[in-house]
């Protein structure tokens, strides 16, 4: 295991040496886990959000092995991230479609993965992605049925028009958090006939309208998940930057309509940035993925690295004001393909694993748009 991790670290260091499109401007210190944020420990809440779960066949095979050859057990896969997830008041993920009883197409997972997400501590998942319509309405239904059975809330896809128009509200101490989710595309697959509401498109006007509806439904904090951006690019593209500016600039009665933007899709970590006073995560990277190749067809170790975003919110200073982020953190992760496990890189380093190159590269990319100056730190 150590040898494998050393190889991965060296590979990632080589990628860093070759240069990245998004250069680091400064570095953040490692902070102790669980340290309460000022003024928020007693009355506020902490939210974590992780990257795509892409269950390639090798990941599914490992889950079958972990189950002893009967069924699938994905819980060991997430064991390394469980402490981070369980410490949060609200935990969000991004998951790809659930497959049926037969067949094993790419990016489809058995329904047991929903139970593993619940056991790990995830409260809700974005289900809007470029793969949402891979198996049409039936695939959407199976995915949402599996999440419902596991007790995991969801946003971004729907089985009925009423469900598409509903707001996913999650309790977080004294607060209610609305989770909205959208995708910039579905790989050219059309919405099912007669059901144009099956997958929510990442349209600026639609997102703002939904955010305002969420506020009217009682949301104290509105979180928007967006599946967007070009694959394998360390830097956010122009469309990501433009949509982030538009969403964070939108206000009603002097209060921002969106309180947090969480991005996925690009397969690699991208920067965090405070835009118009609101935190934007352009890309978390893939939390779980098998062996991957980039758009040049080469095996790319960046596809196994990701971050967990962690934000601590404090109550409004006065009536009508927003819940403020008083602590912003990212946790660097690596998916160990051989072991089939998510690795918290800072915890692994503390145990002597030689993964510093991977951790440092993730840190440099995350901070490359100046987030450290706005208080973003790296944690466990």
The answer, yes or no, to whether residue 7 has pLDDT greater than 60, is no
Is 23 within the bounds of a domain? no
Q: What is the pLDDT, as a whole number, of residue 84?
A: 97
Is 58 within the bounds of a domain? yes
Residue 180: pLDDT band with limits 50, 70, 90: very high
CATH of the domain at 139: 3.60.21.10
Alpha carbon 1 to chain centroid, angstroms: 26
Is 29 within the bounds of a domain? no
Is 101 within the bounds of a domain? yes
Residue 224: domain span: 41-352+361-378
Residues 148-159: tens digit of each pLDDT = 999 999 999 999
Q: What is the pLDDT, as a whole number, of residue 327?
A: 97
Is 4 within the bounds of a domain? no
Is 1 within the bounds of a domain? no
The answer, yes or no, to whether residue 115 has pLDDT greater than 80, is yes
Is 22 within the bounds of a domain? no
Q: How many domains are contained in the chain?
A: 1
Q: What is the pLDDT, as a whole number, of residue 216?
A: 97
Residues 354-377: tens digit of each pLDDT = 688 899 999 999 999 999 999 999
């Amino acid at each position: 295991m150590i040898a494998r991790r050393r190889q991965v670290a060296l590979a990632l260091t080589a990628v860093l040496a070759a240069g990245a499109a998004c250069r680091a401007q400064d570095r953040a210190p490692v902070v102790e886990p669980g340290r309460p944020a000022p003024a928020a420990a007693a009355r506020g809440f902490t939210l974590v959000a992780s990257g795509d779960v892409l269950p390639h066949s090798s990941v599914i095979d490992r889950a079958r092995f972990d189950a002893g050859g009967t069924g699938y057990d994905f819980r060991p896969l997430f064991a390394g991230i469980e402490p981070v997830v369980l410490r949060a008041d609200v935990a969000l993920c991004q998951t790809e479609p659930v497959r049926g009883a037969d067949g094993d197409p790419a990016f489809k997972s058995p329904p047991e993965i929903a139970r593993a997400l619940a056991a790990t501590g995830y409260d809700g998942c974005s289900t809007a992605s470029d793969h949402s319509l891979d198996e049409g309405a039936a695939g959407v239904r199976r995915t949402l049925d599996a999440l419902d059975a596991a007790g995991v809330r969801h946003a971004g896809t729907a089985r009925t028009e009423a469900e598409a128009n509903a707001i996913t509200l999650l309790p977080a101490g004294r607060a209610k958090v609305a989770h909205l989710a959208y995708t910039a595309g579905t790989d050219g697959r059309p919405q099912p006939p007669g059901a144009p509401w099956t997958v929510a498109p990442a349209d600026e006007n639609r997102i703002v309208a939904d955010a305002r509806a969420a506020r009217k439904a009682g949301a104290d904090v509105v979180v928007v998940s967006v599946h967007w951006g070009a694959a394998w690019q360390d830097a956010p593209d122009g469309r990501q930057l433009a949509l982030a500016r538009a969403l964070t600039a939108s206000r009603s009665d002097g209060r921002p309509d969106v309180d947090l933007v969480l991005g996925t899709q690009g397969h690699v970590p991208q920067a965090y940035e405070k835009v118009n006073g609101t935190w934007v995560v352009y890309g978390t990277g893939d939390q779980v993925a098998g062996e991957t190749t980039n758009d040049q067809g080469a095996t790319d170790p960046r596809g196994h690295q990701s971050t967990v975003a962690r934000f601590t919110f404090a109550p409004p200073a006065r009536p009508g004001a927003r819940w403020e982020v008083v602590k912003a953190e990212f946790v660097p992760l690596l998916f160990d393909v051989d072991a089939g496990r998510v690795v918290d890189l800072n915890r692994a380093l503390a145990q002597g694993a030689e993964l510093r190159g991977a951790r440092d590269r993730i840190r440099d990319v995350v901070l490359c748009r100046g987030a450290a100056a706005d208080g973003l730190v790296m944690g466990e």
